[in-house]
Amino acid sequence: MTTHPVSKNFLKVLVSPEDPDVDIIAVHGLNPTNTEFHAEATWTVEDKLWLRDFLPPQLPSARVLLFGYNANVAFETSIAGVREQAINLLNRAASKREEAAERPIVFLAHSLGGIVVKRALVEAKLDDSYKSIREATYGIAFFGTPHQGGNFAKLGDIAASIIRGVLRNPSSTFMEALKKDSLFSDTLVGDFRHQLEDYHVLSFFETLPMGRLGLIVDQKSATLGLAGLRERQIPMDADHTGVCKFESAEGDDYEQVSFNLVRLVKSAVEAAAERARIASLSVPSSRPLSEAASVDTVTKSFLPYAVDAPFNTYSRQHDPTCLPDTRVDLLREIYTWADGKDRRFIYWLNGLAGTGKSTIARTVARKYFDNGQLGASFFFSRGGGDVGHASKFFTTIAVQLARKSQSLQRYIGDAVRKNADIATQSLGDQWRQLVLGPLSKLSGDSYPSSYVLVIDALDECGNDEDIRTILKLLAEAQTFQTIRLRVLLTSRPEIPIRHGFHQIPETKHQGFVLHHISPSIINHDITIYLKYKLGLIGREKPSLSASWPGEETVNQLVQIASGLFIWAATACRFIQEVERVVLIRKRLAAILQIGSSIVGEQPEKYLNEIYTTVLRHSIPAKCSEEEKEEFLSMLRDILGSIVTLLSPLSIHSLSRLLNFQPGEVDDYLEDLHAILDISRDHNRLLRLHHPSFRDFLLKKDRYNDSNFWVDEKPANETLAARCIQLMSTSLKEDICGVTIPGTLVADIKRSRVEQCLPLEVQYACLHWVKHLRGSDAQLRDNDYVHQFLQKHLLHWLEALSWMQKISEGILEIISLESIASVVNCPNLYGFIHDLKRFALHNRVGIEQAPLQVYHSALFFTPVMSIVRRQFSNKMPWWIKRGPEVEANWSATLQTLEGHSEPVTAVAFSPDGKQLASGSHDQTVRIWDAATGATLQTLEGHSGWVDAVTFSPDGKQLASGSHDKTVRIWDAATGATLQTLEGHSDWVTAVAFSPNGKQLASGSYDKTVRIWDAATGATLQTLEGHSGWVDAVAFSPDGKQLASGSYDTTVRIWDAATGATLQTFEAHTVITRLSYSSDGSIVTNCGRLDAISLHEDAACSSISSPLVSRPVAFRPNIFVQDEWIVHKESRMLWLPPDYRHSCSAVYENIVCLGHGSGRMSIFEFLFSH
């Protein structure tokens, strides 16, 4: 056997088969005894080097390599840092693999050698010259590697224990080396766990003590804590040095190691083979973007784009612009505003349905597109898929801006490179990083003087809160140094938009109301439009008279239109869609008849009547009454589905969803081109010409003839049933045919997903619960919903994962739970509740690798889980022995990760839907409390954040920091509304008054301040405490303020005058307090009984005993030390890992913030 002395660095081949398909690289740990051949000795007992002697028969195609390096800490001057040794490992591995760089790698590492491997993989992520090593590495097997403890002391202690276990009297130089220049000291500056989540990990840990020192690396320390269910822990019947040494290939410990290692290596080989097989399907993964990535690649791959949003997209190519000599004055006003220097940079064009807003928006967009000044356009459409909501709004605008200039391309590309997941972040973060930031960096004279953004039909954005948020964010735009930004926005005058503009200073916007234009001007424009459109028909039909339709007819049509351009457009399409002249005349007569039948009515009545006319003409004339009734019923069902859909479908997809035969839907819609945009290409999306048709069908009070009225609730129930039926016949395990359980979503092209999951199936997966909620359906045990879940639940979750919609799926599950009754359907309710726990528990793994829903998700779910028991037959047979898991769900609902430093403050919003957190990483985060998704990351503080609280209406958030400031944020947009300065030391407590108009803060400067929340002005500075102030709270009526301090007192102040009303001696430090509904104060050490406080008691001091009860933010559940308490009973003991640095409670939900940067959410179902 060739061996190497300790002083030499090397990577030698231990086993070399003829045609290897995997490299196994073994790395040793510390060498405290200065053993000359420590690299071999680490894995050897009684001359049996198991990597060479036992493993090859089980893995005949594996090449085994041994890495040796200077790990002798006895000689201080010869020690190299971990980073140098990690790079040494990378360089030698790259050299040995030049001819087979794609061959997969599995690392083995003992003890602190695992730190070298981890550091090497982190360096490989940071340096693209090691890209082949990074991408080839599939897994790591750690043997007694200490991962936990993000500080020098912990790992220093572990290393010292190892040394003391081997040497009875280590030299002082020996121990000093650990402190000054040890093998691992520079690895512990940060936590590398999140950098290693691409890999599969086995963590073998010792269970036998190392003499009197006990366990060196216990199970907790050996836990890396990877997300994504990629780490498996395995106990070994050995001490620290024996954990990777085996006397025989037949021993129990070796059998356990070899079984798991062989499985890991074979999975690595299979994954490599699969990557090669689907190389043509590969897309850029979610790894950090390189500087070389082109902007086009960046925007296409990382910024979701709504294809139908721009004004000139293919699907809108036939949408009209204003005809010459129409809208003259209005367009002139808009152009003057856009080209001028008016500080009002938002122009709101609002008008009733059908008044021509979109046509004007297209006209403006076309003008500025042609002269190079259109920054971007986004045309919303209710039920229009990606243009029916705001999730792709700012990313689509950013993509369009990136195409305007090379500088904007670079700045937007830089923003995406810095934050590759920006598309999943809040609208505020997207707006500031992708739009405002890049625009503000433009300089020089090579750009237009202004960019115009055209946003049409904002009222058709599906979420009112998103509408308000967009308006707030747009108001942040300013006149930049080199360009002016102009925003033209159109909408109906709906309440959310009117209220949104009320919140924007008038100095930032101006408006125009279309339906207030003089009727004579509108009639003039409609006359021009009708003459032009009907004139085209006349020129196409020579048999019509030269004067057709005639001045008098046009005037009659103008009067019937009643100022609505949509009426005129519908009338012209209705006439134009027939070929025969006799039918043209007949349809014109039918339209003229409308005017004589409803003279003097509101414009909406005329619009209703033309829609009714179009629908009646679509019913075949030459058929029996029974056939007409059947046709009408089917037509109503189809139209009801079209206007109830939450996202548009093509005729082909709609036919499949509704279970119609090919061509049937076409037959029913054949004569409805006047109101539906129907393409000859059946794969193009079917759209309404105007949203007013949806209103017409769904509102019964708009009918004289109710034959066409669509009852929305039954329509939703029908669609829900059709969605479930389609999913039941379409979904299956491994629907994309990838075969390898570890295949990642990022490794598969979207085209393949769309082929395997057609549009109608994706629609059904996303929206079946919404349609169920929109109906009057009552869920029952063993009904069709229950049966679907019992059979196809895992198929549904897999499909959502391939669609990258797991978060949306979790929201659907929560929504489904809310409509299931524990009384009416206890079994179904229990199933759905268990499903929620299953999805939240396994979300990360399923999101990354969809097939893991059948593998790790089931295996790591509690044994008694309803979902696990229902689908036990789906567990793969090839796993010999599964992990030991709990019998039942723990109280932990989910764990939130995002902060990089300890979490020191948490607070629920008043409605419990959001959760705020503050951290030593100097940021505040806002989370969706149901799904755990990050909604906002608020940056601005320059010190630790120690306090957070929501305003009573949930619209604002306040935070206190070690930077001595208080910040007030807009909870929807993340914008800083106020920065309050005045404290001279850390701010550690904040609280809003009940009306939200005032904000109190407590500080280590021993004062309490009361601020005006709107202006930021200091209203009161309250002095009296002799110690740090760590808690503040307003009384329910807002007249009093309580503060708790390290001086062991609680003071009650008059919030208006600042006078001290009462001082209580608590005899202990007060760190938390709140008012209860009866006016008494509850603190972290007890309750202050409610007393009558009068002005004449201002300076009194009462020292009263406190009832022994901890802070209860809600009456029933609270946190006390290491316990979660329900009422007066301790219910849940928290292990050390779950001990909290801060906590918050909302009803039956408890959130704990931890020193690790994580947050744990617990849900309790205590009976009342």
Q: pLDDT tens, 147-157?
A: 764 333 344 45
1103 pLDDT higher than 60? no
Give the C-alpha separation, 132 to 99, whole Å. Answer: 12
With vertex at residue 358, the alpha carbon angle to CA 357 and CA 364, rounded to the nearest 5 degrees, is: 95
Buried-state track 158-193, b at ≥16 Cβ within 10 A, e below 16: bbbbbbbbbeeebeeebbebbeebbbbbbbbeebbb
Q: How confident is the model at residue 541 (pLDDT cuts 50, 70, 90)?
A: confident
How do residues 821-870 score in pLDDT, each as one tens digit? 888 899 999 999 999 989 988 888 898 889 989 988 888 888 899 999 99
Give the C-alpha separation, 361 to 669, whole Å. Answer: 29
Q: How confident is the model at residue 56 (pLDDT cuts 50, 70, 90)?
A: very high
Give the C-alpha separation, 644 to 383, whole Å. Answer: 8
Buried-state track 284-302, b at ≥16 Cβ within 10 A, e below 16: eeeeebeeebebeebbeeb
Share of the chain above pLDDT 90, in %: 36
Q: How confident is the model at residue 727 (pLDDT cuts 50, 70, 90)?
A: very high
Q: Which helix (H) or strand (E) holds 1064?
A: strand 1060-1065
Give the C-alpha separation, 348 to 334, whole Å. Answer: 10
Residue 1082 φ/ψ, nearest 5 degrees: -110, 130
**pLDDT score for 226:** 57
The closest alpha carbon to 905, from 924, 933, 928, belongs to: 924
Terminal-to-terminal C-alpha distance of the chain: 73
Cβ atoms 650, 758 nearer than 8 A: no
**pLDDT score for 995:** 94
Average pLDDT over residues 732-747: 89
543 pLDDT higher than 90? no
**pLDDT score for 228:** 42
Q: Which structure tokens are listed for 33?
A: 């005894």
Entry field: residues in the chain: 1168
Q: Does the bond joining 104 to the residue before it have cis omega, within 30 degrees of 0?
A: no
Give the C-alpha separation, 336 to 594, whole Å. Answer: 40
**CA 1137 centroid distance within chain:** 27
91 pLDDT higher than 50? yes
Give the C-alpha separation, 905 to 399, whole Å. Answer: 37
**pLDDT score for 850:** 93
**pLDDT score for 22:** 94
**pLDDT score for 140:** 94
**pLDDT score for 189:** 33
Buried-state track 1127-1151, b at ≥16 Cβ within 10 A, e below 16: eeeeebebeeebebbbbbbbeebbb
Q: Is 805 exposed, middle or buried (0-12, 13-18, 19+ CB in 10 A)?
A: middle
176 pLDDT higher than 60? no
**pLDDT score for 878:** 66
The closest alpha carbon to 411, from 442, 390, 384, belongs to: 442
Three-state secondary structure of 304-336 = CCCCCCCCCCHHHCCCCCCCCCCCHHHHHHHHH
When mean pLDDT is compared across 594-598, 683-687, 934-938, the lowest value belongs to 594-598
**CA 17 centroid distance within chain:** 47
When mean pLDDT is compared across 740-744, 807-811, 1003-1007, 1130-1134, the lowest value belongs to 1130-1134
**pLDDT score for 290:** 44
- Other residues' Cβ atoms within 10 Å of the Cβ of residue 220: 17
Give the C-alpha separation, 81 to 667, whole Å. Answer: 76
Query: If you search the block for the tokens 């006390």, which residue do you land on?
Result: 1120
**pLDDT score for 1061:** 92
Looking at per-residue confidence, does 156 or 653 come out higher?
Answer: 653
Cβ atoms 105, 136 nearer than 8 A: yes
Instruction: Give me the amino acid identity at 1147.
Output: E
**Listed ranges 86-90, 1137-1141, 1162-1166; the one with the highest mean pLDDT:** 86-90
- Other residues' Cβ atoms within 10 Å of the Cβ of residue 1166: 11
DSSP states along 189-238:
TS--GGGGTTSEEEEEEE-S--GGG--SS-TTTT----STT-EEEEEESS
The closest alpha carbon to 490, from 515, 469, 526, belongs to: 515
**pLDDT score for 404:** 86
Give the C-alpha separation, 44 to 240, whole Å. Answer: 14
The strand ranges marked E within 614-736 are 676-677, 687-688
Q: How far is CA 603 from CA 198, 495, 637, 702, in A?
A: 62, 21, 27, 12
190 pLDDT higher than 60? no
Give the C-alpha separation, 1041 to 1081, whole Å. Answer: 11
The closest alpha carbon to 722, from 694, 763, 686, belongs to: 763
**pLDDT score for 821:** 85
Give the C-alpha separation, 1053 to 1041, whole Å. Answer: 5
Q: Which structure tokens are listed for 880?
A: 């010999």
Q: Which structure tokens are listed for 170?
A: 């280590």
When mean pLDDT is compared across 49-63, 506-520, 789-803, the lowest value belongs to 506-520
Q: Which helix (H) or strand (E) holds 366?
A: helix 357-370
Q: How far is CA 879 from CA 264, 875, 882, in A?
A: 12, 8, 7
Q: Which structure tokens are listed for 1079?
A: 């006016």
3-state helix, strand, coil in the chain (%, to 5): 40, 20, 40
- Average pLDDT along the chain: 82
Average pLDDT over residues 41-63: 92
Instruction: Give me the amino acid identity at 123.
Output: E
Q: Which helix (H) or strand (E) holds 793?
A: helix 784-802
The closest alpha carbon to 679, from 321, 315, 319, 387, belongs to: 315
Residue 59 φ/ψ, nearest 5 degrees: -130, 70
363 pLDDT higher than 50? yes
DSSP states along 408-477:
HHHHHHHHHHH-TTGGGS-HHHHIIIIIIHHHHT--SSSS-SEEEEEEE-GGGSS-HHHHHHHHHHHTT-
The closest alpha carbon to 489, from 473, 504, 474, belongs to: 474
Q: Which structure tokens are listed for 1099?
A: 């300076």
Q: How far is CA 173 from CA 161, 413, 871, 1068, in A?
A: 16, 51, 59, 46
Give the C-alpha separation, 373 to 401, whole Å. Answer: 10
The DSSP call for residue 503 is T
Query: If you search the block for the tokens 């939200």, which residue do you land on?
Result: 996
Q: How confident is the model at residue 230 (pLDDT cuts 50, 70, 90)?
A: low
With vertex at residue 30, the alpha carbon angle to CA 27 and CA 31, rounded to the nearest 5 degrees, is: 110
Average pLDDT over residues 1108-1117: 44
**CA 67 centroid distance within chain:** 42
Cβ atoms 1161, 840 nearer than 8 A: no
The closest alpha carbon to 790, from 873, 878, 882, belongs to: 873
Give the C-alpha separation, 754 to 299, whole Å. Answer: 21
Q: How confident is the model at residue 992 (pLDDT cuts 50, 70, 90)?
A: very high
The closest alpha carbon to 23, from 59, 53, 69, 58, belongs to: 59
SS3 777: coil
How do residues 1062-1095 score in pLDDT, each as one tens digit? 898 877 778 788 887 767 777 766 555 544 333 3
**CA 129 centroid distance within chain:** 32
Average pLDDT over residues 912-928: 94
pTM above 0.75, yes or no: no
**Listed ranges 170-184, 554-568, 1090-1104; the one with the highest mean pLDDT:** 554-568
**pLDDT score for 843:** 84
Q: How confident is the model at residue 989 (pLDDT cuts 50, 70, 90)?
A: very high
Pairing of strands 484-491, 346-350: parallel
**pLDDT score for 108:** 97
How do residues 816-831 score in pLDDT, each as one tens digit? 998 998 888 999 999 9
Cβ atoms 119, 187 nearer than 8 A: yes
Instruction: Give me the amino acid identity at 25.
Output: I
Q: How far is CA 425 from CA 219, 429, 928, 974, in A?
A: 36, 6, 12, 11
Give the C-alpha separation, 530 to 532, whole Å. Answer: 5
